[in-house]
Amino acid sequence: KQEVTQIPAALSVPEGENLVLNCSFTDSAIYNLQWFRQDPGKGLTSLLLIQSSQREQTSGRLNASLDKSSGRSTLYIAASQPGDSATYLCAGDFGNEKLTFGTGTRLTIIP
Amino acid sequence: EPEVTQTPSHQVTQMGQEVILRCVPISNHLYFYWYRQILGQKVEFLVSFYNNEISEKSEIFDDQFSVERPDGSNFTLKIRSTKLEDSAMYFCASSGSIVNTGELFFGEGSRLTVL
């Protein structure tokens, strides 16, 4: 069974610091991995998509990496801001036309 | 920027009633999905839809659920006889244009409360 795990469930970081969010998955035959942001009571905003042939993707202060052999992805956020506070979800597409989501990491940036 | 829109944003219904949730996917997308998120739990896949038919569905998507693309723009999820455990946030998503990156774009969700 394909599973996606995110640890820790919650993280608090002072404003301005760089931080890394972790995502692990059980099936190395991953097709792609997508990172999302979810604000309370809101929808999912796509942040970055990494195809299986890629090792990383960057968008502004965000950088996501993918290591299929170790079953890990990371989301790096540089120079964190209070507006980055949200829940961050990773989701894997294992080629079966559906995303398998992790439980998310709730990030709080302390001003 | 194109976006997925969903209506209603919140619906309250009595157990046993039928509910239809509506979605307008991004206009040039070819693949459509419904996911749900029960409060405090993971986002779960329900169904995918391509070329006017269901291409994949989860064990959650039983005979009480159905999807339809009645015209060129709307994509609906119907729950025939709602149960208490159907209370959740339902998300519509779409993907796949001519250049298919596989990136899914989600709507803001429809919160369903079954009493």
pLDDT in the model for residue B100:
60
pLDDT in the model for residue B98:
53
Give the number of A-B residue pairs with CB atoms closer than 8 Å. Answer: 53
CA distance B18 to chain A (A): 24
* Closest CB from A45, A89, A97 relative to B48: A97
- Give exposure, B79-94, as e/b (b: 16+ Cβ within 10 Å): beebeeebbbbbbbbb
pLDDT in the model for residue B2:
74
Q: What is the pairing mode between strands B110-114 and B10-13?
A: parallel
CA distance A6 to chain B (A): 11
pLDDT in tens, chain B (115 residues): 779 999 999 999 999 999 999 999 998 888 999 999 999 899 999 999 988 899 999 999 999 999 999 887 899 999 999 999 999 999 999 998 655 667 899 999 999 999 9
pLDDT tens column, B26-37: 988 889 999 999
| Contacts B48 to A, Cβ<8 Å | 97-98
Residue A53: which residues within 8 A CB-CB, separation 6 or more? none
A36/B44 touch (CB, cutoff 8 Å), yes or no? no
pLDDT in the model for residue B102:
79
pLDDT tens column, A16-64: 999 999 999 998 888 899 999 999 888 999 999 999 889 999 999 999 9
A43/B109 touch (CB, cutoff 8 Å), yes or no? yes
pLDDT in the model for residue A5:
96
Locate A84 and state its tokens.
């980055």
